[in-house]
Chain A
Amino acid sequence: MSEHKPRKTTEKKVPKAFGWMAEYQDENGLLAAARKVRDSGYTKTDAFTPFPVHGIDEALGIKPTILPFIVLCAGLTGLFIALLMQWWMNGVDYKYIISGKPFGITPASIPVAFELTVLFSAFTTFLGMIALNQLPKFSNPVFTNPRFDRATNDRFFLYVEATDKYYNRESVKELLGGTHPDSLDEVLEDTTPSTLPRPIILGALLLVIAGLIPGMIILNIRAGDSTSPRFHVFFDMDFQPKKKAQQTTTIFADGRTMRPQVKGTIGRGQLDEQDPFYLGYDPSKLTAIDTLETGKFVSLQDPKPAASTPPLVATPDPQVASANGAAQGPASVAPVLNLPWIDKLPIEVDDANMALGKQKFETYCSACHGYAGFGDGLVHKRADSLAQGYWLPPTSIHIDRVRTQPVGQIFNTITKGQGKMAAYASSLSPKERWAIVLYVRALQKSRNADMSEVPVDMVKTLDEVK
């Protein structure tokens, strides 16, 4: 930069003066001088010190800033915005029950309100400080004095600006001269050229152009077509030493990569579509019954046809549609599924299974259906008390429709769900589901038994309970 000559050497003018700057060896000299300058009535003053000096604000006569009040207003704004937002979102616009909590402003709104208050305050403090200090300022006339470099090291400077309304060049010089400064200099305008050197401009231009290149490449690729495979910059798992489904192999004599099932074996999950234990009905008897009804059932339950079912009636049938609609709500009559449900429980009827069924029923079913199965569980009570108008009560297991159902059909309901009731196949193993069916049967029996069915030794206990 030094060999870069100023271009306008002909118009050399007298540099403009911005004020006086005095230099001191320690903070005491600075503080005394600052007080003197303050008492003489000057307000456009500033001090530069290598470390924070206690009492400098008072010595310079700096007035308290209005920043705290601005921050207070910003904090209150944040507080009210947060509360308003949460009241509107969760109390008015989108009422949604979250773990049974009330709508609108709750204790859970306070952390958000606190955070927004802090956020608004912090940003306002930071940006307000920047703005009130008129930062960023890239250049200051005090930089022209080479002695000023020591302000970050071991010297203390006091600066009186010429823009002060009482400023008089000679009297300020006299005033500062009387404070025993190490040096006293007039702050002069920076006369070095302010235009950027040509190499810097060129370099910046090159950088900008280079910065455009990636964007242009991306635009080009996105606009055009390409038939060549993509670049494998990182291989990841693009190439693996394995065979895919329809490829050939030399390992086996028949050249097939996919192996046929070995005779006499059962694949994992294969029984799920064949065994009544997993289905609740006997698929081998499906062909014996009405294919139209079967088709309805399968289309209700499963979008893809099961392997063992006969060809489906593919024509769109209005009856199927109505059956579909009916299945959505338990309030309307569920479709009568004329499937070969099994009537006999495929598990042992013993104490262990009964206990298992009771435990699982009370864990998974009782929340809605209630402990005795009347459809009066806690979820129902809570939903009913909210009185939102769209709650459909859970079915009681003691109504005739459920009592007359074969065990297989109850098993199917647990497995695949019905109406609002979710499917429990993923939560409960088939054995556990059958145990629940057993327990449901026991519950139903308990409401519909007569005295002759009670074991003799239990009759006495029953009387006591009465």
Chain B
Amino acid sequence: MNPNYEKSTIELPDSWRAKAPILLSAGLILLCIGFLCAFGGTSTAEDNSQGFRYLCHSYLANFVYVFSFTLGALFFILVQFVTRAGWSTSIRRVAEILMMMIPYLALLFVPIIAMLFAGSSALYEWNAKDIHNSVIASKATFYLSKEFFTLRTALYFTYWILTANWFFRISRAQDESGDAELSLLRQKWSGPLIMLFSLSVSFAAFDWLMSIDADWYSTIFGVYLFSGSMVSFFAVMIVINMLLQNAGKLKKLVTVEHFHDMGKFLFGFVMFWSYIAFSQLVLIWYANIPEETFWYQVRLDNGWKVFSYCIIPIHFIIPFLFLMSRHIRRNRTALTIGAVWLLFAHWYDMTFLVMPNAGPLQLIPLFGHLLGGIGMLSIFASMFIWRADGVPLVAMRDPRLPEAMSYTNPIL
């Protein structure tokens, strides 16, 4: 019960604090430039509606992109307690900080709600005053009304924030007391909460992303978003731990074994994402009924064809082959390259899900959308620094910390 590390290695690097405001302003500037590109690339002098449409879609895609990191973090924390995992104790606090960013990110959802109440149907067709599509019209009467949509979104955020806060508060209390009972308490409640989590993510995916195409439905869509969230979460974890170690932090606490394990999860969830994405495709392709296939048709028309096909190598074949080797996963630099690649792949996936609905593929607005994605990442980084400031970067007195520090992978 006497973990061997220096206290100074579990604090946020001093140099990072100063960077937070810079990152935030850089992110905001990038977002604005991105919006200008989206606007300028699509609008004509007489009609601005297409530009606004592009802007809304781009914002939603980039928001869900960074938000999915925190969803993955919340799930990761829940799963660690469901499975009573010991190996992850030394990396758990970083994930806890990530999950505690949900309240911050909830603020970024406010513009979307505001847009709904301003009466715009640029993003969600079901919010229009007169809906021409009879299928959407039948759904828009009750379920897809702006009031109920807002209520559901508020419910999801309430559940996520309360759960994250509860876990974080107990984790911090354990930093003081080292009481093993606090671990047992979290184990006890993680089971029911993880079931609620799966429901909340599924419905959030249906509401936020799937209802862009309100006359299309895919029951696996929530799992699809979840699998992408897990990929991006582990990628973010690897990058953050790598950066912290480069700044001289968490040495001895986070070993190559933990990187290896996060790499395994990353690899596994890449496979899982592909499995889910393909499951959705093959059923729709095989049944070949118009009310389902048009979703893919939208992604193959209007210049999106090459873009859409490229998701197969970008999100599956290349990372799958790259991360397959144990030597890559145990090499921190190589693993970080893989993680950065998958962060890009997840952005690509979110773009694939949302942007074809905004209109034809045009290079300048797409570039603006990419700038917006980088801007969102930058804002996310500044939020992380503020949230992590003053919090120990490891669960100091968790009874399982020594187990995590001496943990090794067997040699295959």
Contact = CB atoms under 8 A, between A and B. Distances in A.
Interface of A: 52, 54-55, 57-58, 62, 64-65, 67-68, 72, 99-101, 106-108, 110-111
Nearest to B283: A107
A58 B408 contact: yes
A100 B286 CA distance: 10
Nearest to B327: A64
B407 interface: yes
Interface residues of B, number: 14
B288 A99 contact: yes
Contacts of A99: 286, 288
B412 A110 contact: no
Interface string B375-412: 00000000000000000000000000000001110111
B412 A58 contact: no
Contact of A68 (B286, B407, B410, B412): B412
Given A68-B326, A100-B288, A54 B408 contact: yes
Nearest to B325: A68
A27 to B, nearest CB: 12
Interface string B333-356: 000000000000000000000000
Nearest to A58: B411
Contacts of A54: 406-408, 410
Nearest to B282: A107
A108 B282 contact: yes
Given A54-B407, A107-B281, A65 B412 contact: yes
B278 interface: yes
Contact of B411 (A57, A106, A107): A57
Contacts of B286: 99, 101, 107-108
B282 A110 contact: yes
B285 interface: yes
A64 B330 CA distance: 14
Given A54-B410, A64-B411, A107-B281, 17 more contacts: A54-B406, A54-B407, A54-B408, A57-B410, A58-B408, A58-B411, A62-B411, A64-B326, A64-B412, A65-B412, A68-B412, A99-B286, A100-B288, A106-B285, A108-B282, A108-B285, A108-B286
9 contacts: A52-B410, A54-B408, A57-B410, A58-B411, A64-B411, A72-B324, A99-B288, A107-B278, A107-B281
A437 B205 CA distance: 53
Contacts of A106: 285
A9 B408 CA distance: 52
Interface string B68-87: 00000000000000000000
Nearest to B257: A54
Contacts of B285: 106-108
B273 to A, nearest CB: 15
Interface of B: 278, 281-282, 285-286, 288, 324, 326, 406-408, 410-412
8 nearest A-B pairs in the assembled complex, by CB-CB distance: A57-B411, A107-B285, A107-B282, A54-B408, A55-B408, A64-B411, A57-B410, A64-B412
Contacts of A72: 324
Contacts of A110: 278, 282
A101 B286 CA distance: 8
Contacts of B278: 107, 110
Contacts of B412: 64-65, 67-68
Contacts of B326: 64, 68
Nearest to B284: A107
A68 B328 CA distance: 14
Contacts of B282: 107-108, 110-111
A110 B407 CA distance: 38
Contacts of A68: 326, 412
A68 B410 CA distance: 14
B91 to A, nearest CB: 18
A108 B288 CA distance: 12
Nearest to B287: A99
A58 B256 CA distance: 15
Q: Residue among A62, A67, A107, A108 with the most chain B CB within 10 A? A: A107
Contacts of A55: 408
Q: Residue among B285, B410, B412 with the most chain A CB within 10 A? A: B410
Contacts of A107: 278, 281-282, 285-286
A126 to B, nearest CB: 15
A110 B285 CA distance: 12
A118 to B, nearest CB: 11
B270 to A, nearest CB: 15
A13 to B, nearest CB: 41
A444 B70 CA distance: 68
A83 B406 CA distance: 45
A68 B327 CA distance: 12
A407 to B, nearest CB: 38
Contacts of B288: 99-100
A36 to B, nearest CB: 19
A57 B408 CA distance: 10
A108 B282 CA distance: 7
A99 B287 CA distance: 9
Contacts of B411: 57-58, 62, 64
Q: Residue among A54, A99, A108 with the most chain B CB within 10 A? A: A54
Nearest to A111: B282
Contacts of B408: 54-55, 58
Nearest to B279: A111
Contacts of B281: 107
B111 to A, nearest CB: 38
A148 B324 CA distance: 40
Contacts of A101: 286
A403 B406 CA distance: 91
Nearest to A55: B408
Contacts of B406: 54
A99 B289 CA distance: 12
Nearest to B407: A54
A76 B219 CA distance: 32
A52 B285 CA distance: 47
Nearest to A100: B288
B308 to A, nearest CB: 14
B194 to A, nearest CB: 27
Contacts of B410: 52, 54, 57
A111 B281 CA distance: 12
Nearest to B411: A57
A148 B341 CA distance: 52
A173 to B, nearest CB: 29
A49 to B, nearest CB: 13
Contacts of A65: 412
A105 B286 CA distance: 13
Contacts of A100: 288
B274 to A, nearest CB: 10
A108 B286 CA distance: 7
A97 to B, nearest CB: 13
Contacts of A64: 326, 411-412
Nearest to B285: A107
Contacts of B324: 72
A382 to B, nearest CB: 12
A101 B287 CA distance: 10
A361 B118 CA distance: 51
Nearest to B409: A54
A58 B410 CA distance: 8
